[in-house]
Amino acid sequence: MKYFLLIFLCSIHPAFSASENTSTAPARKQSLVSDETDKTMPPKWLKPYVAHYRVYRGGDKKGKVTRELSVKQNLWTLTSYSKVSVFLFSDKRTEITTFRWEDSSLKTLSYIYQIKNSFSKKKTEEYFDWRLKIIRGHRDKKLNWQIPLEDNVYNPLSYQLAIRQQLMEFNTDKDKKITLPQKLTLKVSAKGVVKERVFLIENEESIKTADGIFDAVKITRENGTRTTTFWMAKKLNYIPIKIYQEKEGKEQATMVLSDIKFNIK
């Protein structure tokens, strides 16, 4: 039971699995914010929102996830909170990342990942010092690390914003058919190690949710025997509306959008 729950809960936060791919990212089009005189001004697609998701396995509801993106004086905060109950087991997880929009790009500042369940309590923190070019982190104040910080490095939550940014840069005209690259490659820092993660862009599909039907780009990431698939809605500026994870061909969990609201203050 404990083994299943660990796999299931990792599927809610699929970003924490690591990959060692070393492919290079395709050339991107000019940034959507390139016409802005102030490079700290966020692009139009980056808007505060609150989204609620339901988590299923085998068609049965197992939990819920809330994601909120907020901003105050160019300090952006993306929070993901999940709560799952299976029989007598209860699990709560919180992910928080902060970042700024500088030089027409996303600069990660911090990442916090906290777990509280029937078995244990764990907390991981990472801080990105762009002046000293250092990432500092610790887990439960026992495991500490300090590693070099390169340009365009993200964390297990902010990388989804980076995917949104790259997709938007290929989608400057929403009324025209766009040609997306076959893959995206991003550098992600997790537990003191920076690795490249490769995301394969497969096709566009219509996905039904409780909040309506959306045309979405299907993106897949393979990591050993585990495969995570994202559907990112074009109409919602590529916010994920569905995340599915399987292991050895069997479903582990599916997260589907139930509702979303923008410009939350």
195 pLDDT band (50/70/90 cuts)? very high
pLDDT of 23 over the 70 cut: no
CA distances 4 to 7, 59, 89, 237, 247, Å, are 5, 16, 12, 34, 11
For residue 34, what pLDDT is reported? 38
pLDDT of 51 over the 70 cut: yes
pLDDT of 222 over the 80 cut: yes
Q: Which of 222, 241, 240, 253 is nearest to 17 (CA)?
A: 222
The number of domains in the chain is: 1
**pTM check: above 0.85:** no
165 pLDDT band (50/70/90 cuts)? very high
What does the CA dihedral 93, 102, 232, 170 come to, rounded to 10 degrees?
-160
Taking only the tens place, the pLDDT of each residue in 80-106 is: 999 988 777 888 999 999 999 998 899
Provide the mean pLDDT of the chain.
85
Q: Is the dihedral of CA 208, 240, 54, 264 positive or negative?
A: negative
For residue 185, what pLDDT is reported? 95
Local structure of 222: helix, strand or coil: strand
The neighbouring-strand residues paired with 123 are 114
pLDDT of 54 over the 60 cut: yes
- Cα Rg, the chain, nearest whole Å: 18
| Domain with 141 in it | 2-262
Q: pLDDT > 70: what percent of the chain?
A: 82
Q: pLDDT > 90: what percent of the chain?
A: 66
**Residue that wins the pLDDT comparison between 182 and 207:** 207
**Residue that wins the pLDDT comparison between 103 and 22:** 103
